[in-house]
Amino acid sequence: MVTVVPMPAVELLSTRATRERCANVTRAVEMGQSKHFRIHRSRLQAAARAVADVTRRRYRTLDIPYHSRWRHFAAGGVDRKGEFDRRMKHATESERLRAQIDLVVISVLLDAGAGAAWSYREPGTVDDYQRSEGLGVATFCAFLAGAFSASPGEPMRVDAAALTDIDAASLGRWFQVGRDNPLAGLEGRVALLRRLGDVLETRPDRFGLTSRPAALFDRMLGTRTIAAPAILRALLEGFGPIWRANPTFAGDDAEARIHGDVWRHRNAGGSGATAGYVPFHKLSQWLAYSLFEPFEWAGYTILDRDALTALPEYRNGGLLIDSEVLELINPADRETVWEVGSEIIVEWRALTVTLLDDLAEFVRAELGKPELPLACVLEGGTWATGRALANKLRNGEPPLKMQSDGTVF
């Protein structure tokens, strides 16, 4: 059975819609219509100086790479990409690209918040990694070992048959999960991988007979240029069915469900059936950013990179709260554990998208690099500064507490 992205949800599959709906929420906050936040734009300049300082420390020559999963694959200064390349030294360029796409897809889809109690020790070393770096290294090692392959002679691939058979016990072993090493949202991650396997098997129109994620892009490789919005649109349309449906549109029409990282907010605006929804597509955008480098290594040029938005997650959003660009109206909100679809979290994420566009302009001016791509501002950058402030203020925890299901944050 071929599953299509239902109308009218299609209009929420663009970053244009993301920016428009987030801007609507931001304007409402600035007009005093929020129960949760006040905005202090006068503090953006100081926040930008902090980001620029962190960027210069991390990248002294200002040769800043993209904010990408490949940064986590290099955790601890280990050249894991070099190991990847060595294992594929006899592969063709297209085979290497497909393997890189498979790796990035599976790793990013597993990159929701790990929780503060979990860590991963890389086999054969004494090096422990936590949070995003830990998840990145864990998925990299599992991928090289064939955890997601159904072809014994080809471990470095992702196959539908392997994903549909995966369970919490097997994924937990790859991630070294135990009573003393709990991973937040393990069951949610397993369910997501199984749904991915189902989509790969039932969408031959997009994934061909190979039933692997990389096949999604086969039709796009005829020219040497690829637009960033086209990468994201392919991801959203190809993988859309793996995301659980949010509340339905008016009339409870089962064919008009909103899937994925799309949430209600009373000030989202819009018209028709999608009015009141804000699309973020955080993991899908993170995935698109993480595919820039594999395509470029294979000789493709990525166009319109800044059409993608800042990633609305707790490091970028935390930077805004901790630098006092955003002020919590009720300080007690810090102590509540919020669902990801709650109004305060949706609002925080919408403000993050809008204000990081503005903050990026100040950061570019501070660094004297007016053409710096947003993906590099994030890497330099806003994400690292948000983490540094969280480490300083709260032992790494975000300023607002969220209940993660392993598929959004």
**87 belongs to a structural domain:** yes
Number of independent structural domains in the chain: 1
Q: How confident is the model at residue 250 (pLDDT cuts 50, 70, 90)?
A: very low
Q: Is residue 153 part of a domain?
A: yes
1 lies in a domain? Answer: no
Residue 407 confidence (pLDDT): 58
Phi, psi of 54 (to 5 degrees): -65, -40
> Given a cut of 60, is residue 406 above it in pLDDT?
no
202-219 average pLDDT score:
89
93 part of a folded domain: yes
Backbone φ and ψ for 269, nearest 5 degrees, come out as 75, -155
Mean pLDDT over 25-29 rounds to: 98
- Buried b / exposed e along 230-262 (16+ C-beta atoms within 10 A): bbbbbbbbbbbbbbeebeebeeeeeebbbbbbb
- 3-class DSSP state of 121: strand
Instruction: Convert the pLDDT of each residue in 96-153 to its tens digit.
Output: 999 999 999 999 998 877 787 899 999 999 999 998 899 999 999 999 999 999 988 8
Q: Is 134 among the domain residues?
A: yes
The share of the chain scoring above pLDDT 90, in percent, equals: 77
What are 254-276's pLDDT values in tens digits?
444 566 789 999 999 998 888 99
Domain that holds residue 396: 9-403
> Does residue 409 lie within any of the structural domains?
no
Within-domain flag for 4: no
- Cα-Cα-Cα-Cα torsion 163, 167, 169, 175, nearest 10 degrees, comes to 40
Indicate the pTM of the whole model.
0.91
Question: Does a structural domain hold residue 90?
Answer: yes
